[in-house]
Amino acid sequence: MLSLKNYLEQARQYSVVPVATQLLADRHTPVTLLQRFYKNREGVFLFESVEGGEKWGRYSFLGTDAHAFVEIHAETVLVRKCDDGSERSIPHHGKPLEILRELMQSHRTAEQPELPRFFGGLVGYFAYETVAFFEKIPHRLKDEPFGVFVIPKTMLILDNLKQVLTVCATTFPRETLSGEAKSDEYESLYRSAVAEIEKIAVELEKPFVCPAPQCDAEPTLAPVMPEREYRKKVETIKEHIRGGDIIQCVFSQPFVADEAPDAVSLYRALRFSNPAPYLFFMHLGGTVLAGSSPETMVRLEGRTATLRPIAGTRKRGATEQQDRELADEMLRDPKEKAEHLMLVDLGRNDLGRVAKTGTVQVTDLMFVERHPHVMHLVSNVTAELDDGYDGFDLFRATFPAGTLTGAPKIRAMQIIAEQETTPRGPYGGAAGYIAYNGNIDFAITIRTARIRDGQLTARAGGGIVYDSVPELERLETVNKATGVARALEMLNRTDIRPEGGMQ
């Protein structure tokens, strides 16, 4: 744990100072920790990862208490402090990322080599419609924020390899104390952080019984758009393609469940039935997101930026031989290859807007990545960020992902705005974090359930091209929504408490 002496040195220089200790974690899992600390509170989040659909990522990140909430609205960014309930409504003049950048620049911390790579920052999601601040794209998002984030005060970071739990209580001395603060005032902040850590340690020693899932009903997921209307809109998009407006357009439709289940139970079922590189649960701004996304929106580590376009999908085979045959067939499919290469080029162009000349490269091209139920064609595109640019510039240059819009990107988004009569909201946007050190990691918000105002919704889409068959495209969206649908079915059929065998 950080000593008082070292804390005082950092607190006088930096606006963010974490205090942390490590505990043995062999009796805890990410989900039991979530269930123990969630209690339907806003600001709680959990990030997990399954690499390649088979191997759990090393770290799981759980935020348990909030320092502040940040919401992007049409004309302002709202910052709400949790300790005193104060609010600031900051006009952004159409540039909300500038306000977020200024906010993060005022939250600086010393290097913390003893802590995992992420221990705090801005955590949350951008709605797809955030692009309206970057390009002239019409939108229908009226009654909810364009983005919602939490700055966590307390985090539990589980090292799944070493079975060690880092309990991190972050202090914010420059926000809490005046510029003429005395040593005993800084010491009081330190003692409060230590007390919070000790409180959590005591809580973790108590017996804990996972609450039974609150799912008396049998929720099912169904599309909102009539089949005939969907097919008609696909034909309209194909007319744009034949006219040379676009090459591809990703057209989506909403799905709704007749009942909203217990949010944590849904997340447990989703992570069990559809493990993915980005597993996330977050309760922010009156919205709960439970997601299982396979695709990186954008990542920045140091000065290295990464995109990971996914285009091309097949079901897994019943046998190893059938699995190999399906993978080979996907790799040979000229349509799949053409679509994938188009999206790789789109990613290269997006990165090129903020990259050092000559550094954009495709490090892996069209490899097969297998998940429990499907396999994908995946590529990795990397670049070195040019001088004068940061993670916010990178995000603006690459958002939203081309795999959720089509190409050319701007015209495709304009057509999406014409044909999709309901706002996408989180779908097709980005969920993840902006760390204090400037690193960012966002998933594309797909294969995600959303609970808001007591209603569960999801959304799924597919890429429309010149020879698309409308009914097959509709069925593809239904198939893509099966990740959430399968989780709902599991709630109906399975006891997902620990003794039910899913932990």
pLDDT at 217: 62
Q: Which of 186, 427, 433, 436 is catalytic?
A: 427
Q: Which of 98-112, 180-194, 438-452 has the lowest mean pLDDT?
A: 180-194
Average pLDDT over residues 172-179: 82
- Annotation says 371 is catalytic: no
Q: Is residue 323 one of the residues assigned to a domain? A: no
Q: Is residue 354 one of the residues assigned to a domain? A: no
Average pLDDT over residues 136-165: 95
* Count of structural domains, the chain: 1
Provide the strand spans (E) within 4-146.
Answer: 17-24, 45-48, 50-51, 55-56, 59-72, 76-81, 87-91, 121-126
User: Please, are residues 234 and 470 in contact by the beta-carbon 8 Å criterion?
Assistant: yes
Q: For 192-225, write each residue's pLDDT tens digit.
A: 999 999 999 999 999 887 766 665 566 889 999 9
Q: Which of 115-129, 279-293, 481-495 has the lowest mean pLDDT?
A: 481-495
Structural domain of 211: 4-303+385-500
Q: For 294-327, write each residue's pLDDT tens digit.
A: 999 999 999 999 999 998 888 889 999 999 999 9
Q: Is residue 33 one of the residues assigned to a domain? A: yes
Provide the strand spans (E) within 117-180.
Answer: 121-126, 147-159, 164-171
Residue 178, pLDDT > 90, answer no
Q: How far apart are CA 30 and CA 271, in angstroms?
A: 11
Average pLDDT over residues 473-480: 92
Domain at 42, CATH number? 3.60.120.10
Q: Is residue 471 one of the residues assigned to a domain? A: yes
- Annotation says 117 is catalytic: no
Average pLDDT over residues 267-271: 93
Residue 27, pLDDT > 70, answer yes
- Annotation says 190 is catalytic: no
Q: How far apart are CA 340 and CA 459, in angstroms?
A: 22
Short-list 341, 418, 11, CA closest to 189: 11
CA angle 315, 377, 230 (to 5 degrees): 65
What is the distance of C-alpha 249 from the center of its chain?
Answer: 23
Q: Which of 28, 271, 424, 447 is catalytic?
A: 447
pLDDT at 502: 34
Residue 493, pLDDT > 80, answer no
- HEC assignment per residue over 219-259: CCEEECCCHHHHHHHHHHHHHHHHCCCCCEEEEEEEEEECC
Q: How far apart are CA 291 and CA 249, in angstroms?
A: 23
Q: Which of 10-24, 199-213, 402-416, 484-498 has the lowest mean pLDDT?
A: 484-498
For residue 133, the cross-strand partners are none
Q: Which of 42-46, 136-140, 376-380, 486-490 has the lowest mean pLDDT?
A: 486-490
Q: How far apart are CA 104 and CA 127, in angstroms?
A: 20
Q: Which of 27-41, 115-129, 256-270, 489-503 has the lowest mean pLDDT?
A: 489-503
Q: Is residue 87 one of the residues assigned to a domain? A: yes
242 CB-contact burial (10 Å; exposed 0-12 / middle 13-18 / buried 19+):
exposed
Q: How far apart are CA 96 and CA 494, in angstroms?
A: 44
- Give me the sign of the Cα torsion angle 495, 499, 501, 502: positive
Q: Is residue 263 one of the residues assigned to a domain? A: yes
Q: What is the mean pLDDT of the chain?
A: 92
Confidence of residue 84 (pLDDT cuts 50, 70, 90): confident
Confidence of residue 48 (pLDDT cuts 50, 70, 90): very high
Percent of the chain with pLDDT over 90: 80
Give Dmax (Cα) for the chain: 72
What is the distance of C-alpha 245 from the center of its chain?
Answer: 31
Q: What share of the chain is helix, strand, coil (3-state, %, to 5)?
A: 35, 30, 35
Q: Which of 166, 403, 445, 477 is catalytic?
A: 403
Q: Which of 147, 432, 463, 483 is catalytic?
A: 463
Tally of CA atoms within 13 A in the half-sphere of 388 that contains its CB: 4
User: Please, are residues 493 and 487 in contact by the beta-carbon 8 Å criterion?
Assistant: no
Q: Under DSSP, is residue 197 helix (H, G, I), strand (E, B) or coil?
A: helix
Q: How far apart are CA 427 and CA 284, in angstroms?
A: 15
Q: How far apart are CA 230 and CA 123, in angstroms?
A: 35
Q: Is residue 92 one of the residues assigned to a domain? A: yes
Q: Is residue 456 one of the residues assigned to a domain? A: yes
Q: Under DSSP, is residue 130 helix (H, G, I), strand (E, B) or coil?
A: helix
pLDDT at 393: 98
Residue 154, pLDDT > 90, answer yes
User: Please, are residues 39 and 203 in contact by the beta-carbon 8 Å criterion?
Assistant: no
- Annotation says 94 is catalytic: no
User: Please, are residues 15 and 108 in contact by the beta-carbon 8 Å criterion?
Assistant: yes
- Annotation says 316 is catalytic: no
Residue 494, pLDDT > 80, answer no
Kindly state the tokens that stand for 209: 């019984």
Q: Which of 314, 376, 396, 474 is catalytic?
A: 376
**C-beta neighbour count of 312 within 10 angstroms:** 21
pLDDT at 433: 98
Using a cut of 0.85, tell me whether the model's pTM lies above it. yes
Q: Which of 10-14, 163-167, 181-185, 331-335 has the lowest mean pLDDT?
A: 181-185
What's 355's DSSP letter?
Answer: B
